Chain A
Amino acid sequence: DAGVIQSPRHEVTEMGQEVTLRCKPISGHDYLFWYRQTMMRGLELLIYFNNNVPIDDSGMPEDRFSAKMPNASFSTLKIQPSEPRDSAVYFCASKSTDTQYFGPGTRLTVL
């Protein structure tokens, strides 16, 4: 299995632009998580899905953030409009039991 796949690996954009991050979970995993990691705040859970349904989005910082999971093999995290404070590494993870498997992350820089 290729593991969790994320794209793009790096994204540089200007403030106010829309950013879309993509994730393909491991086949057969029924949970998908989106995290944000910064030096200051560490790893923060933004939202997670079970069987494509959002279960807990209490970690989503603002209405500028939205996430979708249209099917079991694809999820997106969208930021619109982006701001410099959104600069971070965004990870997607999936699981079927207790162990979460992380993707390589998307490093987002908002200028």
Chain B
Amino acid sequence: QKEVEQDPGPLSVPEGAIVSLNCTYSNSAFQYFMWYRQYSRKGPELLMYTYSSGNKEDGRFTAQVDKSSKYISLFIRDSQPSDSATYLCAMPFNNDMRFGAGTRLTVKP
């Protein structure tokens, strides 16, 4: 079993839809949880960063962490075609990072 599991999709939604992206993890030592966004032919860039269980909101994006279930989510409200990208969950650990496989999202106009 991988330390971080993420459905690679692809996921296709119409513009304006609410998108839910999810990861599960097995290592209870993970303390920080990140979401990276990667546009086609670009490097991943940090989108959101959370520490504790609960929700963190940033504009149309909400990151949710449930440590008891070892489950994290990223919600995108009012999705836009510009949100089309691959989203990777990531957990810093021992000075490096454990990445999910990434979910490829397409938002259709």
Contact with B along A77-97 (1 / 0, CB 8 A): 000000000000001010000
B43 touches which one: A42, A99, A104 (CB < 8 A)? A104
Residue of A nearest to B101 (CB): A42
Binds A, one of B12-20, B54-62, B76-84, B92-100: B92-100
When A43-B102, A98-B32 are in contact, do A55 and B43 touch as well, CB less than 8 Å?
Answer: no
Q: Does B45 contact A (CB under 8 A)?
A: yes
The tally of residues in B whose CB lies under 8 Å from a CB in A reads 19
Whether B102 pairs with A56 at a CB distance below 8 angstroms is no
Of all chain A residues, which has the CB nearest B102?
Answer: A42
Q: How many residues of A contact B (CB 8 A)?
A: 21
Contact A103 B96 (CB under 8 A): no
Q: Which residues of B contact A100 (CB under 8 A)?
A: 46, 97
Given contacts A42-B102, A43-B88, A98-B32, contact A105 B43 (CB under 8 A): yes
Q: Would you list which residues of chain A between 48 and 107 have a CB under 8 Å from chain B? A: 48, 50, 55-56, 91, 93, 98-105, 107
What is the 8 Å Cβ interface bit string for chain B, positions 26-64, against chain A (1 contact, 0 not)? Answer: 000000101000000111111001000000000000000
- Main secondary structure, interface of A, reads strand
| CB–CB A42/B99 < 8 A | yes
Task: Tell whether A45 is near chain B: CB-to-CB under 8 Å.
Answer: yes
Residues on B with C-beta less than 8 A from A43 are 44, 88, 99, 102
- B102 near A98: Cβ-Cβ < 8 Å: no
Assess the A45–B43 pair: CB atoms within 8 A. Answer: no
> What residues of B have a CB within 8 angstroms of the CB of A42 in the complex?
8, 99-102
